[in-house]
Chains A and B, each alone.
Chain A
Amino acid sequence: QSVLTQPPSVSGAPGQRVTISCTGSSSNIGAGYEVHWYQQLPGTAPKLLIYGNNNRPSGVPDRFSGSKSGTSASLAITGLQAEDEADYYCQSSDNSLSVRYVFGTGTKVTVL
Chain B
Amino acid sequence: QVTLRESGPALVKPTQTLTLTCTFSGFSLSTSGMCVSWIRQPPGKALEWLALIDWDDDKYYSPSLKTRLTISKDTSKNQVVLTMTNMDPVDTATYYCARMGSGLAFDFWGQGTLVTVSS
User: Which A residues have a C-beta under 8 Å from some C-beta of B?
Assistant: 1-2, 33-34, 36, 38, 44-48, 51-52, 57, 89, 91, 93, 97-106
- B-side contacts of A36, CB under 8 Å: 103-106
- B-side contacts of A45, CB under 8 Å: 96, 109-112
Q: Does B37 contact A (CB under 8 A)?
A: yes
Total B residues in contact with A, Cβ cutoff 8 Å: 22
Is A47 within 8 A of B47, CB to CB?
no
- A-side contacts of B46, CB under 8 Å: 2, 89, 103-106
Residues 98-119 of B at the A interface (beta carbon under 8 Å):
103-112
Is A89 within 8 A of B48, CB to CB?
no
Q: Does B64 contact A (CB under 8 A)?
A: yes
Q: Does B63 contact A (CB under 8 A)?
A: yes
Residues 72-119 of B at the A interface (beta carbon under 8 Å):
96, 103-112
In the complex, residue of chain A having the shortest beta-carbon distance to the beta carbon of B4: A45
Q: Decide: A51 near B105, CB < 8 A? Known: A46-B47, A100-B52.
A: yes
- A-side contacts of B96, CB under 8 Å: 45-46
Contact check: which of A48, A52, A99, A106 meets B106 at CB < 8 Å?
Answer: A48
